[in-house]
Structure 1
Amino acid sequence: MQVTETLNDGLKRGYQITVTAAELDDKVLSKLKEAQPGIEMKGFRKGKVPMALLKKQYGPRLMGEAMQESVDGAVSSHLEETGHRPAMQPSMKMNNEDWKEGDDVVVDVEYETLPEIGEIDFSTISIERLVAKADDASVQDALENLAKSAQTFETKDGAAEDGDQVVIDFVGKKDGEAFEGGSAEDYPLVLGSNAFIPGFEEQLSGVAAGDEKTIEITFPEDYQAEHLAGQAVTFDVTVKEVKAPAEAAIDDELAKRYGADDLDGLKAQISERLEAEYQGAARAVAKRRLLDALDEKVNFELPKGLVDAEARQIAHQLWHEENPEHEGHDHPAIEPTEEHQKLAERRVKLGLFLAEIGQKNEVQVTDAEMTQAVMNQARQYPGQERQFFEFVQQNPQMRQQLQAPIFEDKVVDLIFEKADVTEKEVSKEELQAAVEKLDDEDFAA
């Protein structure tokens, strides 16, 4: 087997691998000898079929396997000897496409290597970490929102208004006959909630307890029940009670409804939750500032193939965000812009750098961390958690998608420990402004 260099330009490498006909023949014979004891053929005892007959019968199929294994083995040995780490899957092309048995196999292999990434002194990087505390006003706002969420309804006299709850019996009829699923008793309906089909709630505005009313409406054309879609119907409604909304009092009873012992305990829980949210937001801001600093300090040649692939992915994702009506991929080709290309260069550079730092420092994602990540993701599929776990176990790409952000965050934390990090106390509004600035930056890395 012979390996000859054909390309050496920057990160690009090209090699021509020649596997001789004799090497291939030896590999095929080795495979046949290994299988011979278990082969049966008419006219011969098991394991006694002549090698010449086996080669005629199975040789052509085994030749393909031998070629693939020989070339793959040659590439693996070459990468091990050179220490090259291909940025993407190497491309392999048969040089002598008119190959026939008895010829050598000549394959052209090309790839881009991952670049050499130098060390930098992280202590020269200065990062300001924002710190926001949960003030009394923020805690009070949260308490008031909880009180609104815990609102009750109290019986009132007079006409129902938007936001009131009406307790009703109703019977839906089509062509004078009650239809299935169109009736209920003691149904609590909040006017303005849009819980019913358009036009229903509006016609109950102004009703009072004891009123009886016939409502006329037409179901939407896209209504899920086909027999009612687009149909004109009536509802005979009896109003049994009208209730006005009443916010829950901010007291110990409210606290108990949310699992706290008393109001002070609930305030402490809210304060803790708010500060955890602030810490998460502050970390996102600090991480962006760190990545910006690294982007300026780090410089090495980038694999063009990786950058181009990333630019295409960015362009494709942004196009779908701007055109949400196109759910599939049956759309014209999307060409990356210069802006997409620059963002791709930043992403690839920082991604390779963080991966290198993580590898050198033996950063690992633990099984417990992966399990937690899978559990967090599975919560998005209530009732299908088990199927999601099985899907992740059987899908290496999905596992990589879940693992990558955990690995990156651990590397970022490692750099934070070595960098010059100072803290600056800010208000909630100042922290929010810093977060919004991140959101305004186009498709940030």
Structure 2
Amino acid sequence: MQVSVENTSALERRMTIAVPAERVESEVNKRLQQTARRAKVAGFRPGKVPMSVIRQRYEDAARQEAFGDLVQASFYEAVVEQKLNPAGAPAVEPKSFEKGGDLEFVAIFEVFPEFTVAGFESIAVERLSAEVTDADLDNMLEVLRKQNVRFEVADRAAQNEDQLNIDFVGKVDGEAFAGGSAQGTQLVLGSGRMIPGFEEGLVGAKAGEERVLNLTFPEDYQNLDLAGKTAEFTVTVNSVSEPKLPELTEEFFAQFGIKETGIDGFRAEVRKNMERELRQAIKTKVKNQVMDGLVAANPIEVPKALLENEVNRLRVQAVQQFGGNIKPEQLPAELFEEQAKRRVVLGLIVAEVVKQNDLQPDEARVREMIQEMASAYQEPEQVVAWYYKNDQQLNEVRSVVLEEQVVDTVLQKATVTDKSVSYEEAIKPVQAPAAD
């Protein structure tokens, strides 16, 4: 077999492969012999059909089948021989496949970029530290109470945070518009659910009262037909209900799967969950800074095949997340290209750090991570056992641990600054930079 390789770009390779005629004919004959054993031809017993008849009837199909198998096999042999690492399936261009002659074809494909990860010393990381104080715990209990708020009918004028049951009709230029009317809808004042001025215009209203609100849709309103237009809303208030926060009772604790522990036991459980969230938030922020630093210090070219595959994965995830009657391929690739490129680049860099440092998942850390996740459940031992019985889930945890070990490897050489902050600041998500 003859192989020649041409570098057509930094990552693209154009490989010409010639398979000797003897090997081609051997593969064709092998398939014809297999066909002869099972072929049914009128006038002949099975297995007794003359090879001349078999060849006349089936040689073209056998030759096409041999072509496909030989292309696949010889391509694999060639990339191994040339020590190439394809990043995707090749595009194949047949050059010659005449009976009795060599099989010659061209395979065009991309290879994985070859690089050495460097620049650990240039990465700056701010590592936060915080603790859950009693005040933080008290605030969290109030959040939990508000998440479980109940509304009771009140015989008074509406205030912010009250829930109103309303009917309304919206008109633009005297004409009702689609989506501008509703009956019996529940609206919490101050929730920001309606356009500016709507909820504010109902403060002070009482049950049975009708109010007319003259409002203007925002210029950036999602419905472009209404953006910037003035509308008149006639609103009838059916009822006014005031919020009632639940008391910290055993019944309330039971909603969170915590029974017969009293207020002290509930506070201890909530604190434990907050501390787990805090550890994860700090770890995530450090990891993100390390990954950002690795990408900045190691610019690499991305194989198109890997980028396309990642774009398609993100398309599928978007459809699964948001639903709707849309196929993944209908979503524009440009929506996902930037995120897909970052993911691919990070995947290549992390894999190279693992390779350069001969890292293996630390099984003690794997078990510790599983136990940490399991502690959020009522039967943690069962959760741990479940992970160790499911290879796919266990390997996913091992991958996360391996990424953490990559982060630890970088931190040994990076510039790390420790900073004490409040619990709220530590768990606050990092805001993405504003677009220009």
- SS of the residue corresponding to residue 430 of structure 2 reads helix
TM-score w.r.t. the length of structure 1 is 0.60
Q: Letter of the 2:48 partner, please give it.
A: K
- List alignment gaps of at least 5 residues for structure 1: 168-187, 195-201, 214-238, 377-398
For 1:436, give the aligned amino acid: V
Aligned equivalent of 1:413:
404
In structure 2, what is the Cα distance between the partners aligned to 1:276 and 1:30?
64
Task: Tell me the TM-score normalized by structure 2.
Answer: 0.61
Which residue type is aligned with residue 424 of structure 1?
A: K
Tell me whether 1:61 sits opposite 2:61 in the alignment: yes
1:436 equivalenced with 2:398 (yes/no): no
Contact between 1:254 and 1:263, CA under 8 Å: does it hold in 2? no
Q: Which amino acid aligns with 1:276?
A: R
Which residue type is aligned with residue 286 of structure 2?
A: A
Structure 1 residue 257: deviation in Å?
A: 4.9
Q: Is the 8 A contact 2:164 2:240 kept in 1?
A: yes
Question: Aligned to 1:294, what secondary structure does the other structure show?
Answer: helix
Q: In 2, are the aligned partners of 1:20 and 1:104 still within 8 Å (CA)?
A: yes
Could you tell me which residue of structure 2 aligns to residue 145 of structure 1? Answer: 143
| Distance of 2:310 and 2:37 partners within structure 1 | 55
Q: What corresponds to 2:224 in structure 1?
A: none
- The AA in structure 1 aligned to 2:36 is Q
Q: Secondary structure at the match of 1:440?
A: coil
Q: Secondary structure at the match of 1:95?
A: strand
Aligned to 2:18: 18
Amino acid in the other structure paired with 1:351: G
Q: Does 1:357 align with 2:353?
A: yes
How far, CA to CA, are the matches of 2:307 and 2:119 in structure 1?
30
Instruction: Provide the C-alpha distance between the structure 2 equivalents of 1:423 and 1:325, rounded to a whole number of angstroms.
Output: 45
- Residue 40 (1) aligns with residue 40 (2): yes
Q: What is the letter of the counterpart of residue 105 of structure 2?
A: V
Q: CA RMSD in A?
A: 5.3
Q: How far does residue 24 in structure 1 lie from its aligned partner after superposition?
A: 2.1
Q: Aligned partners of 1:332 and 1:347: how far apart in 2?
A: 18
Structure 2: how far apart are the matches of 1:356 and 1:345?
A: 17
Distance 1:108-1:407 versus aligned 2 partners, 3 A rule: farther
How big is the shift at 1:160?
A: 8.0
**What is the CA deviation profile of residues 144-169 of structure 1, one whole-angstrom value per residue up to 9, with x for unaligned ones?**
2333344456686x4685777899xx
Supply the distance in 1 between the matched residues of 2:122 and 2:333 (Cα, whole angstroms): 44
Deviations 1:139-193 (CA, angstroms, capped at 9, x unpaired) = 212212333344456686x4685777899xxxxxxxxxxxxxxxxxxxx997759
CA–CA distance in structure 2, aligned partners of residues 312 and 21 of structure 1: 42
Specify the code of the residue in structure 2 equivalent to 1:2.
Q
Q: Which amino acid aligns with 2:346?
A: L
For residue 70 of structure 1, what is the amino acid of its counterpart?
Answer: L
Deviates more, 1:107-116 or 1:243-252: 243-252
> Quick one: structure 1 residues 412 and 19, their matched pair in 2 at CA, closer, same or farther if it must change by over 3 Å?
same
Q: Does 1:305 align with 2:323?
A: no
Partner residue, 1:294: 294
CA distance in structure 1 between the partners assigned to 2:117 and 2:240 by the alignment: 72
Q: Are residues 43 and 307 of structure 1, via their aligned partners in 2, closer, same or farther at CA, if it must alter by over 3 Å?
A: closer
Superimposed CA distance per residue, residues 366-421 of structure 1 (whole angstroms, 9 cap, x where no aligned partner)? 9xx9xx99xx9xxxxxxxxxxxxxxxxxxxxxx9xx99986763332112333336
Deviation at 1:271, TM superposition (A): 1.7
Q: CA–CA distance in 2 between the matches of 1:245 and 1:308?
A: 50
Once the two structures are superposed, the pairs formed by residues 64-143 of structure 1 within 5 Å of their partners are 64-96=64-96, 100-118=98-116, 127-143=125-141
**Cα offset, 1:117, TM superposition:** 3.3
